[in-house]
Chains A and B, each alone.
Chain A
Amino acid sequence: DAEITQSPRHKITETGRQVTLACHQTWNHNNMFWYRQDLGHGLRLIHYSYGVQDTNKGEVSDGYSVSRSNTEDLPLTLESAASSQTSVYFCASSGDPGSEQYFGPGTRLTVT
Chain B
Amino acid sequence: AQSVTQLDSHVSVSEGTPVLLRCNYSSSYSPSLFWYVQHPNKGLQLLLKYTSAATLVKGINGFEAEFKKSETSFHLTKPSAHMSDAAEYFCVVDNNAGNMLTFGGGTRLMVKP
Contacts and interface: CB of A to CB of B under 8 A. Distances in A.
- The answer to whether A and B come from one shared complex is yes
A34 interface: no
Interface in B54-113: 90, 94, 96-101, 103-106
Interface residues of A, number: 22
A104 B90 contact: no
A90 B104 CA distance: 16
Contact of B49 (A43, A44, A97, A100): A100
Given A42-B90, A43-B90, A106-B43, A99 B101 contact: no
A93 to B, nearest CB: 10
Contacts, number: 49
B104 A42 contact: yes
A97 B98 contact: yes
Given A90-B44, A104-B43, A98 B100 contact: no
A100 B103 contact: no
A54 B35 CA distance: 28
Given A98-B94, A100-B34, A41 B105 contact: yes
B51 A98 contact: yes
Given A90-B44, A105-B42, A106-B43, A98 B103 contact: no
A100 B46 contact: yes
Contacts of B49: 100
Contacts of B41: 106
A54 B109 CA distance: 38
Contacts of B99: 31, 94, 97-99, 101
Interface of A: 31, 33, 40-45, 48, 50, 90, 92, 94, 97-101, 103-106
25 contacts: A31-B99, A40-B9, A40-B105, A41-B105, A42-B90, A42-B104, A43-B44, A43-B90, A43-B101, A44-B103, A48-B100, A50-B98, A90-B43, A90-B44, A97-B96, A98-B94, A98-B96, A98-B99, A99-B99, A100-B34, A101-B101, A103-B44, A105-B42, A105-B43, A106-B43
Interface of B: 4, 9, 32, 34, 36, 41-46, 49, 51, 90, 94, 96-101, 103-106
